[in-house]
Amino acid sequence: MSQVVVPPAPPKSKRGRRTLVRDVIEVLLLAAAIYLVIAFALQTVRVEGTSMVPTLQDGDLLFANKISYHFHGPERGDIVVLIPPESPSRDFIKRVIGTPGDIIKIDGRYVDPKTPSAAPRTAVLIKVGGKGDWQVLNEPYLPDQKKDPWTEMSNCCDSSGRATAVPTELTIPKDEYFVMGDNRNFSSDSRAIGLIPKNNIIGKAWIRIWPLSHFGFLGSGPTLSAAGSVVLALPLPLGKKLVRRRRRFRRAA
């Protein structure tokens, strides 16, 4: 019986070994680069407490973008992770309401002049950039105001951004922000801790990753609308009435 002779495998060349080593190094470098980018640009944040209900729930896990504010400042409506000035060992999560240059006040008994018969409510009033007329902040993310109306710390703001006894105007200084939790009756925010310096804002919370049943972006922000003004229907001057009557008489004649 004849035997099949299997020739020995050729030894690996030095060139082949160098290619394998290079591929491994490239994969490791790519993994390290991805890790550094994620570590620099993103931060995982776990929500503790109920100050952002109903937008965020206790135990929610979020991704916060840490890089975007290196290129521009926080914007109204952003949900941000911040370090409270008086508690540097803790992180808070709040919503930006007032930005530098805005004039802001909170009125606990605001009545829209366009609907004077409506019941008073708490409203945030803003002059954007410190110019123009007052505008009302419309906040669809707040709890149901019929069932759980905003009644705590419902007037603002003193020179530091804290709550006041009566509605008081505040011009927000450069590089400082006025923030509040969405659950206004149960939130320690600028009304209690004052304005937040830009350097204390770590990043923008932009997506919820847990629980999976609520995975996704964090909803729409606020809008602004004219605060309204009363327009009186004044009678025409007597002279104009007489002129119109004379014209009617002439046409009739």
Q: Which of 192, 176, 194 is nearest to 184 (CA)?
A: 192
Q: Which of 90, 96, 91, 88 is nearest to 124 (CA)?
A: 96
Q: Which of 227, 52, 224 is nearest to 138 (CA)?
A: 224
CA 198 – CA 225 distance, rounded (Å): 27
C-beta separation of 121 from 149 below 8 A = yes
CA 15 – CA 204 distance, rounded (Å): 49
Query: Does residue 51 carry a catalytic annotation?
Result: yes
Query: Which of 13, 68, 94, 225 is an active site residue?
Result: 94
CA 211 – CA 237 distance, rounded (Å): 68
Query: Does residue 220 carry a catalytic annotation?
Result: no
Q: Which two tokens stand for residue 1?
A: 């019986």
Query: Which of 12, 13, 14, 51 is an active site residue?
Result: 51
The total of other beta-carbon atoms located within 10 Å of residue 224's CB is 15
Q: What is the DSSP string of 27-53?
A: HHHHHHHHHHHHHHHEEEEE--SSTTT
CA 42 – CA 55 distance, rounded (Å): 21
Q: Which residues are identified as catalytic?
A: 51, 94
